[in-house]
Structure formats: C-alpha cells, structure tokens
C-alpha cells in the first residue's frame, strides 16, 4: 500500500486529537472531583444520583420535622410538669380544707390559694410555642382559656408532624378534654371550702382523678418524644448511607484519575516527538542538486 | 545516414519535458485537497519500415521515439464512492451529536439549579408549612419555592425551543448550500462536456469530486458518471443534477409545527436519510407520516407531561383544601397556565391570586383551623407518591422517577450519538487514508521520477551531441 505524507500527518493528527480529548476529560475529573460533568458522560450514574439526592432531601425534611416535634413535645412536657406541681399544691390545700380543725380565717387563706392556683393553671393552659397555643388543638392562634368567661375555645384537632417516610406523630395534647374539667373542679373546690370540710372531703377522689389525668397526659407526651428521638437517630444513619452512596456514584476515584493522567501524558509526548522526527523526512533532503 | 536519430532524440526531449511538467504539477499539488495524482503515459512512437540489408525477409521495423500518449489521473471509483457514502454518515452523527451535546447541561444533575432540586425544595416548603400552618413566612416560602420551580420548568422549555429555532435556521441555510453546490456541479459538468472527456480534463474532474464530497457531507447523495463525462447526482431516486440542469430543494413551513419541511421544488417528497441536514432535522423534529417526531419533540412532550402531572396533583389539593382562616374550600388552582390555554412547562406559573394573597395557601383540611396543617402535609407527601399520573403518558410514578427517566434518556441519546460520531469518523478516516494511498501524491516518488526524467533528458541531449559529431565527421570527410 502506498503511503503518502498526507496519510502520515492525518494519522498523527487523529492520534494526537484522541489523546488530547482523553487528557481534557481526565483534567476535568481531577479538577472538579466529579466523575461526570454531563448526563451523556454516564447516564446510569446520573439517574442514580438523582434518586440519592431526592432521598437526602426527604431525610433533611424529616429531620426538620423531628426538631419541630421535639420543640412542641418538650414545651408541652414542661408545661404539664408545672401543671402537676400546681395541682399537687391544690391537693394540699384540699387536704387542709378537709381537716375539721379549719376555721373561717383559714378558709379565706385557702380560697385565696385556690384562686391563685386557678390563675397559674390559666397561664399554663394558654402556654404558647412559637406563637401557637399548645393546648388549643387546631384553633391555636387564639388563647383557648378565657378566664373572664370561663370558656374553653380550643378544639380536639391534632397537630401532625411528619418525622419519617411513613411516620407522622401528633405533637399536641388535647386540652379540650383535660383543662375544662380542671377549672370546673377548682371552682367546685372554692365553693366546697366555703361549705365545710365534709364537702371538701367529698371532692378529694375527683381531685385525685384530675392529677392522674395530668400525669397520664405527661406520660403520653414522653412516649411520643421517645418515638421522635428514635426516629431522629434512624434518620441520621439513613442520611449517612445516602451520602456515602451518592459520593460513590458521583465522586471521581482520584487515585485512578492521577494514574491515567500520567499515562496519557506519556503517550501524548511520545506521539508528538515521533511525529516531529518522522514527518520532516523526505528524499529531497538527501538529493544533490 | 538519416536524421532519424535526431528526430528520435527531439521527440524524447519533448516527451521528457512534458513528463517533468507533470511531475512538477504533482509536486506543487501534493497537499491540495481532492487532487488526484497525474501520470504522463509514455508510449513508444509508431513503427516504420526501415530499408534494410536483409531484404529477403522483408524490411525491419523501428519505432521513432517516445511520446506522451496522455496525461491521466490516478482514480479509484470504488473507494471514492465509499468515501462519499461514509461522509454522509459521519456528517449525520456529527451534527446530531453536536446538537445533543448543547442540551446536556440543561439536564445536568446533581445541580443546585436543576429541576430535581427545585421540586424537592418546593415540597420541602410545604412540609415546613405543615408544621406551622398559620405562619406568614412559611406561606411566603411556599410561594417563593413555587416561583423557583416554575422558572426551572420554563428555563428548560425555553432553551429546548430556542435550540429548535436555531436548528430550523440551520436547516434553511443548509438547503441553500445544497442548491448552490448543485449549481456548481452543473456548471462544472458543462465545462467538462465542452472540453470533452477524451482530453482528460483532470483538474475539472478533481473539482467535480470535491464538490460531490462537500455535498455528501450535507445530504445523502448517489451519483453516476455519464458517457460525456458529466456527473449526475441523485438524492434518493430524485435527480439533483442531470448534466447541466439542476432541480432545487426548497423549504416549506409546516402549519402544525411552525418549522420548515424540506422538499423538492416540484412538490415531491425529498428522501433525506443521512448527512448533516438529516442530523439537524432529526434533532429539531420533522414530520414523518403525519407525526412530528425527533429528539427535542420527545423531550418536550415528556417535560410538559411532568409539569402537567405535578400541577394537576397540587392544584387538586389546593382547590379542595382550606386556608388557615378559611371557612370553605379555596377552589383556587395553585398553578395556572398564564395567557395560553394548555399548561406546559413553558407556560406554567404560580396563580397570581395566590401570589398576591399568601394567606389563601390551603394548609388545612377543615374550616377555621389555623393549626391544622394536614392538607399541607398531603401536598408535601406528593413527593413520594408513586400513583401520580401524567397526561399522555402510560406510566405512573413519583416525580423524581419520571424526571430521572427523562434525564437518563437525554444522557443515553447524547452518549450514543457521541459514540456513533466517533465510530463513523474513524471509519471515514480509514477510508480517506485508503483513497489517499491510491490517488495521493508521494513527493519521494515524484523526486525519484524527476531524477529518471532528468537522466533521460540528458541522455537525449547526449544522443544529439553524438549525432552532431558523427555528422561533422562525415561532412569533414567529404569537404
């Protein structure tokens, strides 16, 4: 087969172009740390990276939910703890009032204590978390307990927060089944103190039931909080897995890249130097005129 | 003694001079594209009977020198045809791959400006709203992310349609180029027939080859050389050039798509199968049997289906849900299509009523429940719902699955076009090298020829000198 210089230079140019293209791609990988820059570089890896990124976005949303749920539940827990304290004081007052040695002056003192307990309980019932009223159900932009009219305007709706792909928790306590009973029992205690120790004694079982209700509510909050905390640690490990998978799919293997880069450089130099040596040769160089 | 020797030497001088001219021409055009090496065909002169002493066996014959019978070209019709066909294929995939590469970056993921991120952020904003439904800033965040999402959709759609418009312009200009090349071929045909093929109009034939190869890069052509030396060129079965006559290709606007269709001036369909023209048409989209198909139309259809599916799902929940202080379902769609009727990726926008009234975002499922975020939660959970349906698409699935299938398709198309471009280019280079091997000029070979011709010239001069001295000796003896 005849070889003409044009063939030789074409072959050299093609090889040099190919090597340069390889070098460019390796350089890009080395400088960005990414295995691919465009979907056409690696279509399968791009689709995988989309699904991992989506998973990470969802996990981050749920972690936000966990934080919000923890905030609600912790606030409810401390409010209910205060409520328990107030109620224990009320129980003490009732105990004293049921004692037959109480006199009129003591009754007045006890009634004052009951009234201040009612005020405390009122501010606990209207406890807020980030501008919303904790115990008001879904009507939580207005204070549920109106002390002047003794009405409860909250409802029994649930505040739902999503903390996992299929895990949603209710983070509020239903104030409408808890507090109205407490307030009416306090009023009854106030009246009973005026009536006499036996009336107060008759109220004691109800007051105990009320304390139990407060404790139960607090236990429920505690168990929801435990669920949320467990969910939080699951989310953290899920996030780590997804991040690792994403890095595997999108990250360039730097050791490979640097090795290949060195190899391609050698090939490139060899092509250029051999071309420089061979192409200028011609019979005309050796002919005598 | 006759002057035959002088005649022979003179003829030799003339022949070698012409041979050296041909060699010089070859050397000068060693790197000219499309130049086929020319060969001076030397033949011995016709024989003549000589008066001889062996009259019994009849007179001997002696030729009278050398002459250049013709200056012909080294050609290889088979390889030339192969190169032409391969050039069309290489042109096709080169144009396709170039166009597809342009839109790869639109679909790049992971990307902070990508559609997947915009969708995740949009549904994330609804999730945040569900935790604090009466918060104005959470409502504003939802609307803000909605704007980002609609811009992301519009951006991709706009880039795709503007690439289509570019390709449309390119198609029109390529049709113009084809017509102009056809005219040039026809003119060259005219010149060749005027000179006559028997006179070996080598440079005109080279020019012809070049024009046909340039044409084949743009569109698939077949050609045949007629007896008069003219080249007739066909696209499919319809003639483009017949002798010195051309038929023109024109572009006609398709009323449905708004893009230019390519057909013959006489109205018949053009059978375009390869070449850059075909590559550009296949990316932009062309009418095939009544349907407008192509790479970009397919991507646009899928993108529009995604936008419509997402909008429908969110609109339903927004419309049936309650605003935090609402007493009735809002009845408002979340996404609207602006001025145009159908909701596509290019026309999707946030309902202006909602944009002006953030408090109408439907976060609740019951009236007058500012703390109820369950409807917002339902919207946020659309992000993982795999029962979403997309208008015009058979498959249902999650938003990000649909999007990643589209991105995968775009990536795969781009990758396979790149691969085919490289393969066809490599094959073309191989064929071109083979052709070069047959018809190309090797300056070393020409230098050797030059040495031979120079020596023959010197030998002829030597013969003349010797004849001269013989004649002088003879005359000196007589005088």
DSSP letter string, A34-60: BS-SSGGG-HHHHHHHHHHHHHHHHHH
Residues A259, A261, A267, A270, CA torsion sign: negative
Name the phi and psi angles at B403, rounded to 5. -65, -40
The 10s digit of each residue's pLDDT in A210-237 is 999 999 999 999 999 999 999 999 999 9
Contact A38 B105 (CB under 8 A): yes
Contact A160 B377 (CB under 8 A): yes
Q: A251: nearest CA in chain B?
A: B110
Which residue in the set A43, A161, A250 is minimally distant from B408, CB to CB?
A: A43
Q: What is the pLDDT of residue B93?
A: 97
Residue B220: which of B100, B93, B98 has the closest Cα? Answer: B93
Residue of A2, A8, A21, A39 for testing the chain B interface, max B β-carbons within 10 Å: A39
Q: A34: nearest CA in chain B?
A: B110
Cβ contacts of B29 within 8 Å, gap of 6 or more = B35, B441
Tell me the shortest Cα–Cα distance from A3 to chain B, in angstroms: 5
- Contact between B153 and B307 (Cβ < 8 Å): yes
User: Can you state the angle between helices B399-439 and B77-102, rounded to 10 degrees?
Assistant: 150
Interface contact B135, partner A, CB < 8 A: yes
Residue A249 to residues A44, A46, A207, A244, A253, Cα–Cα distance (Å): 10, 8, 63, 9, 10
Contact A51 B400 (CB under 8 A): yes
Give contacts of B132 with chain A, Cβ < 8 Å: 68, 130, 132
Q: What is the pLDDT of residue A107?
A: 87
pLDDT above 90 as % of chain B: 73
Cβ contacts of B194 within 8 Å, gap of 6 or more = none
- Tell me what the mean pLDDT of segment B224-250 comes to: 92
The 10s digit of each residue's pLDDT in B388-397 is 999 988 888 8
- Tell me what the mean pLDDT of segment B110-121 comes to: 88
Interface contact B138, partner A, CB < 8 A: no
The 10 Å Cβ neighbour count of residue B319 is 14
Q: Which residues of B377-399 are buried (b: 16+ CB within 10 A; e: fewer)?
A: bbbbbbbeeeebebeeeeeebbb
Q: What is the pLDDT of residue B54?
A: 63
Q: What is the pLDDT of residue A198?
A: 87
Tell me the shortest Cα–Cα distance from B30 to chain A, in angstroms: 8
Q: Which of residues 333-372 of B touch A (CB under 8 A)?
A: 364, 366, 368-372
Give contacts of B108 with chain A, Cβ < 8 Å: 37-39, 46
Q: Which of residues 377-396 of B touch A (CB under 8 A)?
A: 377, 380-381, 383-384
Residue A124: which of A78, A155, A187, A69 has the closest Cα? Answer: A78
Contact A38 B411 (CB under 8 A): yes
Q: What is the pLDDT of residue B302?
A: 95
- Return d(Cα A221, Cα A224) in angstroms, integer: 5
User: Can you state the angle between helices B275-284 and B295-320, rounded to 10 degrees?
Assistant: 10
Provide the CATH number for the domain formed by A50-247 in this structure: 1.20.1330.10
Which residue in the set B108, B369, B408 is minimally distant from A47, CB to CB?
A: B408
In the three-class reduction of DSSP (H, G, I as helix; E, B as strand; rest coil), residue B421 is classed as: helix
Among B110-114, B215-219, B270-274, where is mean pLDDT lowest?
B110-114
- Return d(Cα B137, Cα B152) in angstroms, integer: 22
- Return d(Cα B16, Cα B457) in angstroms, integer: 6
Which residue in the set B407, B445, B448 is minimally distant from A46, CB to CB?
A: B407
Give contacts of A284 with chain B, Cβ < 8 Å: 443-444, 447
Q: A250: nearest CA in chain B?
A: B110
Cβ contacts of B227 within 8 Å, gap of 6 or more = B197
The 10s digit of each residue's pLDDT in A124-143 is 999 998 888 989 988 888 89
Contact B404 A47 (CB under 8 A): yes
HSE, side-chain direction, 13 A CA sphere, residue A273: 6
pLDDT above 70 as % of chain A: 100
pLDDT of B62 above 90:
no
Q: Between A and B, how many CB-CB pairs are < 8 A? A: 186
Q: What is the pLDDT of residue B52?
A: 65
pLDDT above 70 as % of chain B: 98
- Contact between A160 and B373 (Cβ < 8 Å): yes
Work out the end-to-end distance of chain A between its first and last CA atoms, rounded to an integer number of angstroms. Answer: 29
Residue B400: which of B291, B310, B286 has the closest Cα? Answer: B310
What is the pTM (predicted TM-score) of this model?
0.88
- Annotated domain spans of chain A: 50-247
pLDDT of B341 above 90:
no
Give contacts of B400 with chain A, Cβ < 8 Å: 50-51, 54
Give contacts of B373 with chain A, Cβ < 8 Å: 159-160
Q: Which of residues 10-69 of B touch A (CB under 8 A)?
A: 30-31
Give contacts of A161 with chain B, Cβ < 8 Å: 130-131
- Tell me what the mean pLDDT of segment A56-84 comes to: 94
State the average pLDDT for chain A: 91
Contact B105 A2 (CB under 8 A): no
Interface contact B430, partner A, CB < 8 A: no
Tell me the shortest Cα–Cα distance from A212 to chain B, in angstroms: 28
Give contacts of A5 with chain B, Cβ < 8 Å: 30-31, 442-443
The pair of structure tokens assigned to B389 is 């349906």
C-alpha torsion B239→B245→B249→B250, nearest 10: -150
Contact B371 A53 (CB under 8 A): no
Q: What is the pLDDT of residue A197?
A: 86
State the average pLDDT for chain B: 91
Contact A141 B370 (CB under 8 A): yes
Tell me the shortest Cα–Cα distance from B176 to chain A, in angstroms: 31
Tell me the shortest Cα–Cα distance from A220 to chain B, in angstroms: 20
Tell me the shortest Cα–Cα distance from B151 to chain A, in angstroms: 20
pLDDT of B57 above 80:
no
Residue of B371, B373, B388 for testing the chain A interface, max A β-carbons within 10 Å: B371
pLDDT of B320 above 60:
yes
Q: What is the pLDDT of residue B352?
A: 93
Give contacts of B403 with chain A, Cβ < 8 Å: 50
Which residue in the set A138, A284, A287 is minimally distant from B371, CB to CB?
A: A138
Q: What is the pLDDT of residue B53?
A: 61
Residue of B411, B424, B441, B453 for testing the chain A interface, max A β-carbons within 10 Å: B411
Which residue in the set B407, B415, B426 is minimally distant from A47, CB to CB?
A: B407
- Tell me what the mean pLDDT of segment B181-209 comes to: 92
């Amino acid at each position: 087969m005849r070889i003409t210089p044009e063939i030789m230079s074409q072959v050299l140019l093609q090889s040099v172009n190919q090597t340069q293209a390889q070098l460019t791609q390796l350089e890009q990988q080395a400088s960005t740390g990414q295995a691919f820059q465009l979907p056409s570089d690696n279509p399968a890896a791009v689709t995988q990276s989309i699904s991992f990124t989506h998973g990470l976005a969802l996990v981050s949303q749920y972690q936000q939910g966990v934080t919000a749920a923890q905030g609600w539940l912790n606030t409810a827990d401390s409010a209910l703890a205060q409520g328990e304290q107030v109620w224990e004081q009320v129980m003490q007052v009732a105990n004293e009032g049921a004692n037959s040695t109480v006199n009129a002056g003591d009754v007045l003192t006890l009634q004052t204590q009951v009234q201040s307990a009612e005020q405390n309980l009122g501010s606990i019932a209207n406890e807020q978390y980030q501008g919303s009223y904790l115990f008001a159900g879904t009507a939580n932009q207005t204070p549920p307990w109106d002390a002047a009219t003794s009405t409860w305007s909250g409802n029994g709706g649930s505040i739902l927060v999503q903390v996992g792909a299929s895990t949603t928790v209710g983070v509020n306590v239903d104030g409408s089944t808890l507090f109205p009973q407490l307030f009416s029992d306090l009023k009854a205690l106030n009246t009973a103190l005026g009536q006499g120790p036996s009336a107060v004694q008759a109220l004691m079982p109800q007051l105990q039931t009320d304390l139990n209700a407060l404790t139960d509510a607090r236990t429920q909050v505690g168990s929801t909080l435990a669920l949320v905390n467990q969910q939080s640690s699951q989310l953290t490990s899920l996030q780590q897995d997804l991040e690792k998978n994403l890095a595997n799919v999108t990250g360039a293997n730097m050791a490979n890249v640097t090795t290949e880069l060195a190899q391609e450089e050698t090939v490139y130099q060899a092509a250029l130097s051999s071309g420089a040596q061979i192409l200028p040769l011609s019979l005309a160089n050796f002919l005598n005129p | 003694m006759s002057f035959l020797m002088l005649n022979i030497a003179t003829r030799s001088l003339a022949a070698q001079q012409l041979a050296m001219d041909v060699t010089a021409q070859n050397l000068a055009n060693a790197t000219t594209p499309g130049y086929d090496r020319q060969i001076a065909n030397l033949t011995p002169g016709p024989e003549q009977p000589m008066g001889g002493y062996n009259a019994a066996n009849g007179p001997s014959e002696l030729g009278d020198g050398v002459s250049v019978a013709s200056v012909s070209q080294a050609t290889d019709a088979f390889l030339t045809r192969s190169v032409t066909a391969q050039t069309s294929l290489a042109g096709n995939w080169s144009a396709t791959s170039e166009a597809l590469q342009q839109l790869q970056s639109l679909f790049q993921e992971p990307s902070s400006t990508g559609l997947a991120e915009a969708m995740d952020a949009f549904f994330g904003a609804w999730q945040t709203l569900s935790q604090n439904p009466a918060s104005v800033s959470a409502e504003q965040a939802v609307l803000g992310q909605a704007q980002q999402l609609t811009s992301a959709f519009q951006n991709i759609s706009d880039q795709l349609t503007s690439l289509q418009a570019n390709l449309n312009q390119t198609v029109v200009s390529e049709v113009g180029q084809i017509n102009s090349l056809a005219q040039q071929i026809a003119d060259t045909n005219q010149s060749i027939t005027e000179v006559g093929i028997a006179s070996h109009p080598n440079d005109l034939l080279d020019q012809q080859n070049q024009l046909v190869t340039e044409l084949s890069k743009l569109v698939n052509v077949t050609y045949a050389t007629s007896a008069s030396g003219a080249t007739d060129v066909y696209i499919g079965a319809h003639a483009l050039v017949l002798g010195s006559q051309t038929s023109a290709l024109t572009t006609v606007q398709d009323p449905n798509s708004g893009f230019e269709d390519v057909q013959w001036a006489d109205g018949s369909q053009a059978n375009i199968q390869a070449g850059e023209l075909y590559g550009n048409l296949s990316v932009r989209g062309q009418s095939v049997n009544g349907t407008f198909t192509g790479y970009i139309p397919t991507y646009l259809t899928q993108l529009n289906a995604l936008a419509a599916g997402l909008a429908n799902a969110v609109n339903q929940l927004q419309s049936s849900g309650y605003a935090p202080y609402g007493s009735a379902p809002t009845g408002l769609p979340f996404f609207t299509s602006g001025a145009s009727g159908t909701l596509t990726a290019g026309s999707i926008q946030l309902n202006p009523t909602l944009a002006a009234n953030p408090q109408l975002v439907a976060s609740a499922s019951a009236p007058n429940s500012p703390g109820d975020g369950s409807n917002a939660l339902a919207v946020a959970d659309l992000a993982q719902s795999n029962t979403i349906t997309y208008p015009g698409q058979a498959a249902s699935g999650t938003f990000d699955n649909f999007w990643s299938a589209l991105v995968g398709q775009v990536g795969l198309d781009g990758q396979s076009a790149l691969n085919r471009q490289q393969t066809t280019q490599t094959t073309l280079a191989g064929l071109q090298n083979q052709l070069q091997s047959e018809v190309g000029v090797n300056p070393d070979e020409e230098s050797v020829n030059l040495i031979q011709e120079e020596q023959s010239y010197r030998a002829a001069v030597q013969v003349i000198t010797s004849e001269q001295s013989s004649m002088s000796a003879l005359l000196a003896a007589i005088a």
